[in-house]
Amino acid sequence: MNRTINDLFYQKGRVQRTVLLSFIMAAALTSCSKNNEEITADAQASAVNQENIQQGQLNGQSITYIKKDGKNFFQGDIVLTDEQLKDQPQQKGGASFSRWPGGKIYYTVASNMGSINANKITTAVNEYNNKTNTQWIPRTNQPNYVEFIFGSSSGSDGWAHIGYRGGKQTVSLDQYISVGSVIHEMGHTVGLYHEHTRKDRDQYVTILWNNIQDGQAYNFNIYNSGTDIGPFNINSVMMYWPTSYSKNGQPTIKRANNTNFTYNRTGFTAGDITTINTMYP
């Protein structure tokens, strides 16, 4: 299937794509009925203040993002650093973030995470370790690592820094997040963007702009500064859900033939695995 990894990943022989792998998705839900993840995401989107919408540069491309709680949110659940938002390819060789060295990702879990989410993290880590060339390893004293932190006690969302930056990075998980969405957020960590932002997406899906909440259309913009890997994968765990940011309960994304699709939040597809393993051979 496909993905988009950042140009940064394949600086010397690019092979990447648009979410750093447009492969995994960020919050996908059912097209016919909303679940907790979708309701929470819609509530958050509705609460966004217009004055918090900012413009920046990501790997030389102009992007729109939200400034909230001191963090820069791109495409809803990807957190970018101020340095990444100033990145110009001509200044840094197009490297705003990169792959984890050797595919090894050291991690810790916050003490207040709770046993339920801790078990979800363990399940998701096993999925990566058993099915991909990345290895998530409990941290001892490594300086570059990921910390899983507890987000909202009532929500079902998450967010993550994208790619490898060095130092401590974060994956935030709400109380009711699903295992599939944990896998999704970890996908951002390994370097995947959202599938619907691939450069070739208009050949496979239609964006119904009139159904999108006011001020949220930028979340559906194509991200051109990455490299797409493999074919477009509408079932990717990195795909947006069909009614993401809907203002009227109607689909905001359909197949190009105008039919509905059902989001995947159960785990990796074969295409997702291929994409990650292409990034981390």
Which residue ranges form the domains of the chain, and what is each CATH number? 3-70+194-279 (3.40.390), 101-190 (3.40.390.10)
Confidence (pTM): 0.80
Number of residues that this document lists for the chain: 281
Active centre residues (catalytic): 185
- Alpha-carbon separation of residue 158 from 48, 72, 192 (angstroms): 16, 14, 15
Residue 265's pLDDT band (cuts 50, 70, 90): confident
184 is in an annotated binding site: yes
Residue 264: which residues within 8 A CB-CB, separation 6 or more?
25, 28, 180, 235, 236, 237, 239
Place of tokens 């820094």: 161
pLDDT of amino acid 77: 95
**Averaged pLDDT of the chain:** 81
Task: Please indicate whether residue 40 or residue 105 has the higher confidence score (pLDDT).
Answer: 105
Task: Please indicate whether residue 111 or residue 95 has the higher confidence score (pLDDT).
Answer: 111
DSSP class per residue in the chain: --EEEETTTTSSS----TTSSTTEESS---SSS--HHHHHHHHHHHH--GGGEEEEEETTEEEEEEEETTEEEETTTEEE-TTTTB--HHHHTT-SSBPPGGGEEEEEE-TTS-HHHHHHHHHHHHHHHHHSS-EEEE-SS-SSEEEEEE--SS---EEEE-SB-SSEEEEEE-TT--HHHHHHHHHHHHT---GGGSTTGGGTEEE-GGGBPTT-GGGG----SEEEESS--TT-TESPPTTTTBSSSS-SEEETTS-------SS--HHHHHHHHHH--
Are the beta carbons of 232 and 9 closer than 8 angstroms?
no
Q: Express each pLDDT in 43-84 by its tens digit.
A: 444 444 444 888 888 888 889 999 998 899 999 999 998 888
Arithmetic mean of pLDDT, 155-178: 94
188 is in an annotated binding site: yes
pLDDT of amino acid 26: 33
Residue 118: Cβ within 10 Å count = 15
